[in-house]
Structure 1
Amino acid sequence: MNGSEEPESSAVSRQRPDLVLVGCVKTKHEVTSAAKDLYSSPLWRCRRAYAESLGCPWYILSAKHGLLDPDERIGYYNLALNDLRAEPRRAWSTRVLDELKSRVPSLRNKLIEIHAGATYVTYGLEQGLRDADATVHRPLAHIAGVGRQQAWYRERLRRGCA
């Protein structure tokens, strides 16, 4: 069952993912730090806490850096995928797929959960993962609004994400 349209009650949503991809956010600290510590919005804190709670590998989708290991040290930057035209977004998606394939030798039969806005997936990333025979699950794809997304995370986290 590939795709992002599975309802929350589906079997996919009850499985622990093999890998989690978390979109970066605009709000950042202006210091060089581990990527997971650079981003600073309440939504980021929820995404990070959720990804860490799953106990599986997770990576950050960065508009500037592509695929980031959470512990990779980076400095402040000011670039959003929304700032880019369609072709650079497609190139970014190809770059991220290539980086992911170099870190995870086979995506076949892997359940990959994506916690990022539509801009991160609609220019080839999601389709590229499907083409590699991964199952893609985007649990928040149909939840509009940052507040509602944060509530979704808080419902699933024992210690919260504030």
Structure 2
Amino acid sequence: MTATQTERTRGRFVLIGCGDAKTDQPVAARDLYTSSYFSVKRSYAEAAVQWARTAGRRANSWGILSAEHGILMPRQTVAPYDTTIEDLRDEPIEGESHYWLPSGERAESRLDRWALRVHSALADWLRRPYAADQKDSPCRELVVLAGSDYIDALRERGIFDGRPTAIRTGRETHTALPPKATVRFPFQERDFDGMFDQMEWLSDRTEELEAAAKPARRTELTAFDGGFERESATWQASHSGVDVEGTEQAGLDAFETVPERFLATRQTSLTTDGEEE
């Protein structure tokens, strides 16, 4: 892994769009969406946030952009839902509007309110502490992989740029995105012909990322949604390369072939005067 590749894997957060096809029961968010398109995005996200093999590690993480929930963490249990961006677009908020969007417009529709939820969740997610002595956000790069309906709704409202303002007090609310974070939108930055073109690009990038991280996999930590997982050492019984049942059965088979003379034992008991009985 080159110095440039290493630097790019430090402080990387990946946000991927959800999908229409879902399971029919509550599961972890990473398993809720069942389409091949989402699966490819998830594989890319998991590969992109692996630890860099450096002494000065910085946290990496990935999440899911949802029309119903805003931002979901991969291990968060979620029930199936049917909400789409179009369902929110022209639906007014009940009651008085309390916020100006970062774009300067009033938050008056459900889509506006959703955008504010995403902004607040982004601020919390990108700043949450990964170390006790960490004061600044670890995020250096935010990669957003979602359809234009999601991205346009957020960018038009300034969600990746400014801060919402409370109408009554005139004060800015919620923390803006980390100042050192670069926001990228690969789907919008490249001239893709469609979903399958995106999937091919993602698959190629995933292979490159996995190949770059391969030398470090046995000794380095991998961060998914802020949690840490270490691959099992080769000597651990839980390692996928060990056939535990087969090993146990082989031991039993070998035991059964031991000559009987080695299995016989002499049982004795002691009397009170010390003589064998």
- The bucket for the TM-score relative to the shorter chain is 0.7 to 0.9
2:8 to 3, 7, 15: 15
Shifted more, 88-97 versus 21-30: the winner is 88-97
Residues 29 and 110 from structure 1, CA distance in 2 versus in 1: closer, same or farther, beyond 3 angstroms? same
2:212 — aligned with what? none
Contact map agreement 1:93 1:125 (CA 8 A) in 2 = no
Q: Indicate the residue corresponding to 1:82 in structure 2.
A: 86
Q: Distance in 1 between matches of 2:120 and 2:111?
A: 14
Q: 1:108, 1:52 → 2: CA distance?
A: 17
CA, structure 1 residues 22+109, in 2 after alignment: closer, same or farther (shift >3 Å)?
closer
Q: Which amino acid aligns with 2:160?
A: L
Aligned counterparts of 2:147 and 2:193: Cα–Cα separation in 1: 10
Distance 1:107 1:95, change over 3 A: farther
DSSP-derived class of the 1:19 partner? strand
Partner of 2:47: 53
Q: Secondary structure at the match of 1:123?
A: helix
Q: Given the two structures, how large is their TM-score scaled by the length of structure 1?
A: 0.79
The residue matched to 1:122 in structure 2 has which SS? helix
Q: How does 1:1-150 map to 2 (within 5 A)?
A: 15-16=8-9, 18-54=12-48, 55=50, 56-85=60-89, 87-105=109-127, 110-124=140-154, 127-131=158-162, 132=177, 133=179, 134-141=181-188, 142=190, 143-150=192-199
Aligned mates of 1:102, 1:57 — CA distance in 2: 13
What secondary structure does 1:90 align onto? helix
Deviations, residues 34-87 of structure 1 (Å, cap 9, x unaligned): 000000111100000000001220111111111100000011111111222153
* C-alpha distance in 1 between matches for 2:22 and 2:193: 22
Question: Equivalents in 1 of 2:184, 2:119: separation in Å?
Answer: 16
Of the two, which has the highest radius of gyration? 2
**Contact in 1 for aligned 2:126/2:138 (Cα 8 Å):** no
The percentage of counterpart residues that share the same residue type is 30
Structure 2 CA distance for partners of 1:123 and 1:107, relative to 1, 3 Å: farther
Say which structure, 1 or 2, has more relative contact order (CA 8 Å, 6+ apart): 1
**5+ residue gaps, structure 2:** 51-59, 91-108, 128-135, 163-176, 209-277
Q: Deviations over 1:104-139 (max 9, x none)?
A: 226697311000011222223583223333321111
Distance 2:155 2:14 in 1: 13
Q: Is the 2:30–2:75 contact (alpha carbons within 8 Å) kept by the matching residues of 1?
A: yes
Q: Residue 109 and residue 78 in structure 1: after superposition, are their counterparts in 2 closer, same or farther (change >3 A)?
A: closer
Unaligned runs of 5+ in 1: 1-10
